[in-house]
A and B are shown apart, each in its own frame.
Chain A
């Protein structure tokens, strides 16, 4: 059945559309140009309802098939990616392997994070929260370091990263809302007339 694919974009032709939607599989010729079967009113209602149910079933079947295909496609993509990663990692130099290992294994100490959060909330927090917060913080570090490396490269310099790279990276990420701005909320904006320069 093609209705699920074509109907969303073709809402103009009402009669044409209702023709397709109402035409259930066992009922090819029972509709006239209005798309409503030529029957008495009461029966027409029941038929419409049945037709709607049929249409619903068809659409959900379609959705299932679509999702299944999508899942299979996604699985294939995942397998491809895994294979590619394996090939890549097998060709790493020792230094690259080292770095890759650090990339995976480095993590914030759960105890310290838990202590930090609890010192702010004053109550205890669950393990899940600590896990989530540690994970997000690592992503945050990654964003800052990557931005700093971009800055470093742009300025024609080499790692190790220097504080000026870090600060420039922070400055670039701030408009995107990715940097916390605790200090700004504490200070009132009246102190420095030019403090909003970054927005101009």
Chain B
């Protein structure tokens, strides 16, 4: 597309993210291909998304997780990854923040319910 020729930043990203020939980040094995396809379909893409698009997304996700992990390691308790630090980092992004809060709350409730259920079974 004309975009790719005019914009050097774009080119940079093109080489690094998309990687036409080499297929993204070197020879890394694809970790999430199946799951990402389902996800993309769920979020509005076609039932059969293009493999190249899936690859681009996978690289983005891995970069995202990598950067988050590095950031988390540098705050709070150094060298450790803890949930509170993740929540702190995410606080500016409303969607992600809300999602993390929901997940953690649900987890807690599930644990509580499971524990109560087990204890009830144990007692009888």
Q: Which residues of B contact A162 (CB under 8 A)?
A: 50, 52-53
Say whether B38 contacts A105, CB under 8 Å.
yes
Count: A-B pairs, CB below 8 Å: 191
Contact digits for B73-86, partner A, Cβ 8 Å, 1 yes 0 no: 10000011111001
Say whether B45 contacts A149, CB under 8 Å.
yes
Name the one of B48, B56, B103 contacting A135, with C-beta atoms under 8 angstroms.
B103
Name the one of B8, B10, B65 contacting A116, with C-beta atoms under 8 angstroms.
B65
With an 8 Å Cβ cutoff, the count of chain A residues facing the other chain is 64
Known interface pairs A106-B39, A160-B46; A141-B104 also in contact (CB < 8 Å): no
| Interface presence of B27 (CB below 8 A) | no
Interface residues of A in 161-183 (CB under 8 A from B): 161-168, 170-171, 178-183
Q: Which residues of A contact B38 (CB under 8 A)?
A: 102, 105-106
For the complex formed, measure the closest distance between the CB of B67 and the CB atoms of chain A, giving whole angstroms.
4
Interface residues of A in 183-200 (CB under 8 A from B): 183, 192, 194-198
| Interface presence of B116 (CB below 8 A) | no
Say whether B56 contacts A145, CB under 8 Å.
no
Say whether B56 contacts A103, CB under 8 Å.
no
Known interface pairs A160-B50, A183-B16, A195-B12; A132-B104 also in contact (CB < 8 Å): yes
Say whether A182 contacts B18, CB under 8 Å.
no
| Interface presence of A86 (CB below 8 A) | no
Known interface pairs A99-B41, A117-B81, A195-B9; A166-B56 also in contact (CB < 8 Å): yes
Say whether A106 contacts B35, CB under 8 Å.
yes
Say whether B96 contacts A140, CB under 8 Å.
yes
Contact digits for B97-110, partner A, Cβ 8 Å, 1 yes 0 no: 00110011001000
| Interface presence of B122 (CB below 8 A) | no
Say whether A192 contacts B63, CB under 8 Å.
no
Say whether B41 contacts A180, CB under 8 Å.
no
C-alpha gap A138/B99 in the complex (Å): 10
C-alpha gap A133/B16 in the complex (Å): 24
In the complex, 9 of the A-B residue pairs with CB atoms within 8 angstroms, ordered by the A residue number, are A107-B35, A109-B35, A126-B83, A140-B60, A142-B43, A145-B43, A159-B49, A161-B50, A167-B14
Q: Which residues of B contact A (CB under 8 A)?
A: 1, 3-4, 7-10, 12-14, 16-18, 31-32, 35-36, 38-50, 52-53, 56-57, 60-70, 73, 79-83, 86-87, 90, 93, 95-96, 99-100, 103-104, 107
Q: Which 3 A-B pairs have the closest CB atoms?
A: A103-B42, A160-B46, A102-B42
